[in-house]
Amino acid sequence: MPEKKKSAPTATKKDDNKGGEYSANQITVLEGLEAVRKRPGMYIGSTGPRGLHHMIWEVVDNSFDEAMAGHCDTITLRLLPDHWISVTDNGRGIPVDIHPKKKISALELVMTQLHAGGKFGDGGYKVSGGLHGVGVSVVNALSTDVIATVYRDDKEWVQEYKLGKPKEKVKAIGKAKGTGTTIAFRADASIFETIDYNWKTIIEHLRQQAYLTKGVRLIIKDERTDEEKEVDTSSSKMKGTSYQFYFEGGIASYIKHINKNREPKHENVFYVEKQVEHIAVEVALQYTADYQESLFAFANNITNPDGGTHVAGFRGALTRTLNSYARKKGILKEKDANLSGEDVREGLTAIISVKIPDPQFEGQTKSKLGNPDVKAAVETTFGEALEIFMEENPKDAEAIVGKCLLAARARNAARIARESVLRKGALEGFTLPGKLADCSSRKAADSELYIVEGDSAGGSAKQGRDRHTQAILPLRGKVLNVERARLDKILTNNELKSLIIAMGTNIGEMFEIEKLRYHRIIIMTDADVDGAHIRTLLLTLFFRYFPELIAAGHIFIAQPPLYSIKNGKDMKWFYNEEVLGKYLEKQGISSSDLEVAEENEGDEAGEAEEAPTAKSKEKKGKSKINIQRYKGLGEMNPEQLWETTMNPENRLLKRVTIDDAEKASEVFDILMGSEVPPRKKFIQTHAKSVKNLDI
C-alpha cells in the first residue's frame, strides 16, 4: 500500500528560516530513482513477499510485451544462487544508441529514468502491459546490483548498475548472434522484508501469462543451492527445478486447465479471436456442473479482478445471444420470462482477454478497465461468434441452454425461499437468531462475531467474552457444504440461515456489505479433524457467496492453544508444536520424558482443571512440569478461553485473504466438490506433509 504523505514539517528557528515560516528551504526534491528507494510501496505495492515477486513480474512483462508485438517467442527465467534473478528473451533487444535529447545511451535511459520507455509514442509498442515506463527502472532502483545485457546489431552490449546508478557507460564486449535482452538483478535486502523467492508463486503466475500469450515458450529454471531451496517451504509442494510452458491453444487451453477437476456440461470449448480496428479480442468459455461463475478478465495480460468495459460487453452479449437462441429454437415459450444475467452465469467458466494500445484503468492497481470502445468491440465480436458456435454445435448449445434453464428454475425457488426467510424477517424487525449472544455495541467497526463449534464451546465463549464488543454464535454439527448446493438449499439450512441473519448483509443479489453488523467475523473451531472440517465448510461459504467480505478483510480464523504447561505456579500456553519443543529444550526436557494428557472430548466447560494431567519424569534439580493437550475449546474454562483465544491483547488471529482467486477456486473444487478422483489424488500428494493428524 502506498504510504501516507507526511504533513509538512514544523519549522524551527534557524538563520535561514527565521520566524518559522514555510519557505522553499523546506521543500525536498528527490532526484532520479531516489524517490523509488524512499517510497518503494508506491511503485511495487509493498516491501513484503508480494512486492518482491512484483520485481520479477516487471522484468518478465517487458519480455511479454516483445512477444505481444510479435518479436519474441522464447522467454527464460532463472533463479540463481545468492538471490539473483535472470530474465532473458529473444526479442529485438533494448536500443543502445545515443538518445538525441538526453545524450546518453537509450539502455541507460530506460534503466535509470522513470517514465522512459517505448510505450508512450508511436513505433515502440502498439500493445503493452506496462503503461508508465517505471518497470525496469524501479527494479534497478530497488536492487543492490543489476546487469543489463543486450544482443543487437551483431554485438553484445553490457551495462552494470549499483543501487540504481550505472557503474560505467554502455559498452560492447563481443559479437552476438541474434537479438534479445537479459536483465539480471539482486533485490536489496535492506528494503525488502525477505529476498527469498517462492518457487510455487513464480510457477503459477508465469503459467497464467503463458496461457495469455499463446505460442510463446516460457522456460523457468531453479538453479539455487539446496540451502536456499530449503528456505522456500513451497518448493516441496511443486517439485522440479525446471518447467516449460507452451500453449498453442492460448486461453482455450487455460479453460481446460481451470476445469480439469470439474464436470463440463458440453465437450467443445468456445473460443474466438478477432481484431476489431485497434482492439484484439480473445474470449473462451465452457459451462460446468458447478453453481458458481468463474470469470477471469485481462487487459494486455494484466488481470482485472473488478472487471470493466470488456466484462460488461461480454455479459451483455452472453445474455442476449442465449435468449435469442432459446426463443428461436422454441426452448423458451412466449409465456416464459427471459433468462437473466444470473441464470446464464451459473456454472460458467470464462476468460476475456483484450489487447489495446492505450488501456485506461481505474485505480493504481489496474483492477478495472475503463475504455468505452472496448465494450462494443467485445460485445459484437463475442455475440456474433457465440451465435455461430451454437448453430454449428447443436448438442453443446442444447446443454448450455439446459443448464441456464435449470439455473432459472433454481433462482425462482431461491427467490421464494429468500422472501420467506429474509424479507419476512426484515418486515418483522429482522429478529436475530435466538442462539446468538449479541454484543452491546452497535458500532460495526468495534464489533466481532465469533462462530463457534457446539454448545460446550459456545458456553465457555459466552461466559468469557467481552460482552460490549464480542458476539457469540454457536453452530450445531457440520454445516451444509455449499459447493454442492444452490442458494435455495442454503436458505433452508437452519445453521447457515442463522449466520446470514446475524451478519446482516443478506445474500445473493440482495447482498449489501454496508449492512455488515460485525467488522471482524472470527471462525473459532476445535483443533482436531472435525474442527478443521467445519472451518473448511465455513470458508467455502464465505469464498463462494461472500467473497466481498474476504476481500475487505473481515474474515478471521482464531488460533486456540494446543498445549498448556504448568511449571510450578507458572502457566504457559503454546499454539504450535515447534514453539513447545523449543521451550522444552530450554528446560532440558526431551519429548521422550513426557506423556501428554488429553481431555475427554465430552467434558463440559470448566472441568479441565479437574481432569488428570501428565507429569514429566522427575529429574534432580528440576521442578515438576504438567503438560496438557487441548483438542476442544469446551475443555477450557471461560477465563482460560478469554485469556488465550479471545482477549485482543493476547490472542492470535489469522486474517483470511485471497491472493490467487483461480487457485483458491481450484482447491475448493477439489476438496469440496463432487468429483472423488481429484480429491483422492490431492490427499495422496499431500499426505506426507501433514503432521500430527488427530483421528
How far, in whole angstroms, is CA 185 from its chain's centroid?
26
Q: Which of 196, 530, 548, 675 is catalytic?
A: 530
Active-site residue (options: 73, 466, 528, 607): 528
Taking residue 38's Cβ as centre, other Cβ atoms within 10 Å add up to 12
Using alpha carbons, list the distances in angstroms from residue 607 to 289, 454, 568, 598. 48, 16, 20, 13
How far, in Å, CA of 366 to CA of 362, rounded?
6
Beta bridge partners of 282: 273, 353
Q: Give the chain's end-to-end CA distance (angstroms, integer).
A: 42
CA distance 559 to 575: 7
Which cell numbers in the block locate residue 532? 478443521
16 annotated ligand-binding residue: no
- For the purposes of burial, counting CB atoms within 10 Å of the CB of 47, is it exposed (0-12), middle (13-18) or buried (19 or more)? middle
Q: Please tell me the distance from the alpha carbon of residue 507 to that of residue 501, in angstroms, as a whole number.
A: 9
Using alpha carbons, select from 96, 91, 88, 93 the residue that is nearest to residue 172. 96
List beta partners, residue 348. 287
What residues are paired with 690 via a beta bridge?
A: none
Grid coordinates given for 470: 464480542
Residue listed under C-alpha cell 466481532: 448
Q: Is 453 known to be catalytic?
A: yes
Cα 567–chain centre separation: 43
Q: With contact defined as beta carbons under 8 Å apart, do 111 and 137 qualify?
A: yes
Under 8 Å between Cβ of 475 and 495: yes
Question: 3-state class of 527 per DSSP?
Answer: coil
**Residue 453 in marked binding region:** yes
Strands (E), 277-407: 279-287, 294-299, 302-303, 348-355, 361-362, 368-369
379 tagged catalytic: no
The active-site residue out of 526, 599, 635, 669 is 526
Residue 424 is placed in which grid cell? 419476512
Single-letter amino acid, residue 684:
Q
Whether 446 is catalytic is no
- Cite the DSSP H helix spans in 329-371: 341-345
**Residue pointed to by grid coordinates 524551527:** 12
Q: Is 384 marked active-site?
A: no
User: What CA–CA distance (Å, rounded) separates 214 from 219?
Assistant: 14
Write phi, then psi, for 576 (nearest 5 degrees).
-155, 165
Q: Which of 453, 495, 599, 635 is catalytic?
A: 453
| Residue tagged 487441548 (cell numbers) | 630
Half-sphere exposure of 647 (CA within 13 A, CB side): 11
Distances (CA, A) of 400 to 128, 311, 325, 403, 532: 35, 20, 11, 5, 36
Question: What is the full DSSP assignment across 389-401?
Answer: HHHH-HHHHHHHH
The DSSP code for 381 is H
The answer on whether 526 is annotated among ligand-binding residues is: yes
Rg (CA), the chain: 29
Phi, psi of 663 (to 5 degrees): -70, -40
Q: In whole angstroms, what separates CA 355 from the centre of its chain?
A: 24
Binding-site residues sit at: 453, 526, 528
Catalytic residue numbers read: 453, 526, 528, 530
Binding-site residues for Mg(2+) sit at: 453, 526, 528
